[in-house]
Every structure is written in structure tokens, then in C-alpha cells.
Amino acid sequence: MTNPVTQADSVFLKRFAMLIGFLALVAVLLIALALHIYGSHPPPQNPDKQKLTEQRIAPVGGVYAGDTGRAAMQAAQEAAAKAAASQVAYGGTTDGKTIYGSLCHTCHDAGVAGAPKISDKSAWAARVAAGEDTLLKHAIEGFTGKAGVMPPKGGNPALNDAQMKAVVEYILSQVK
């Protein structure tokens, strides 16, 4: 019985096995090099990692019961109002048109909640006659009347008085 593998096939198989062995050795060496480099240069850590973790595991809500709970709830509401007031809306811009286009147009273009439409000059006539100071006071503090409801600062407590004045002046320029 003769060997079914010829001499040429035997030489090929030996060389192919050596090539595969060499490639496996190169792969192992590259993996070892990568582990060494990774070990000596670890990836940077996020400095806000602890803060992000605390935000993820923070409770969604709170339970307030009795007088102690009522006091805690009021303190939380005051803290939230102060935090909102400390932020400046719209990058602090005092461009009335920009603020109107971002916030006020929602109600004053459609007449939501009895808000006078900016295009309806007759609806603004009595308000303009009351004076800019009255309009500014109602815009800042809010207003509830027969004609409709104006939330304080248009519903955005982050607006400051100068921004509200700019918006009132812009609206007055449009309705006169």
C-alpha cells in the first residue's frame, strides 16, 4: 500500500502549517502588546461620573405627609423657583422680537386663553391705553381677568424684568 499524499502535497502541508503557526504567534504577540499598552495608558475617566450616577439613582418623586411633609414640599418648591430664577432665559438677550418669537407667539398669535392676538389692534387698544407700566406689571406678575389669563413672565420664570420690558416694547411697536 502506498502513501496517498504525494511528496509535493506533503511539502505544501508542512509549509502551510508553519505559516498558520507563525500567524498564530504574531496574533498572540499583538494581543500581548495591546494589553501592555492599554495597561500603561488607561482610558480617561469622566470627571462627572459620580454626579451622573447619583442622578440615575435619585428618587423620581417624594412623599410628603402631614405638617413636616408640607414644609418640605414648600421648601422644595421654593428651591426650584430660585433655581429657575437664577438661570437667564434665551442667553440673556434683550431683543424683544427674539423672545416673542421663542415664547410669546404661542399664545399671542393664536389667541390662546384669551390672549389678544398681535394682529388684532382693536383688542390691544384698551391695553395700550392703560399704559406701558401697567402692561409691564401684568407681564411680569401675571394677570387674570375677564379678557383672559397672562401667566407671570409668560410662563417662563427664567426671564428677567429687562427681558420682559423688551418684549412689551416689541409688542407695543407691533400693535400701535
Share of the chain above pLDDT 90, in %: 15
pLDDT score, position 29: 98
User: Rounded to two decimals, what is the model's pTM?
Assistant: 0.51
- The CATH class that applies to domain 89-175 reads mainly alpha
Q: Domain segments of the chain: what residues?
A: 89-175
Residues 6+ positions from 84 with CB-CB distance below 8 Å: 157, 158
The residues pairing with 150 across neighbouring beta strands, listed in sequence order, are: 143
Residue 113 has pLDDT above 70, yes or no: yes
- Predicted confidence band of residue 21 (pLDDT cuts 50, 70, 90): very high
152 versus 61: the higher-pLDDT residue is: 152
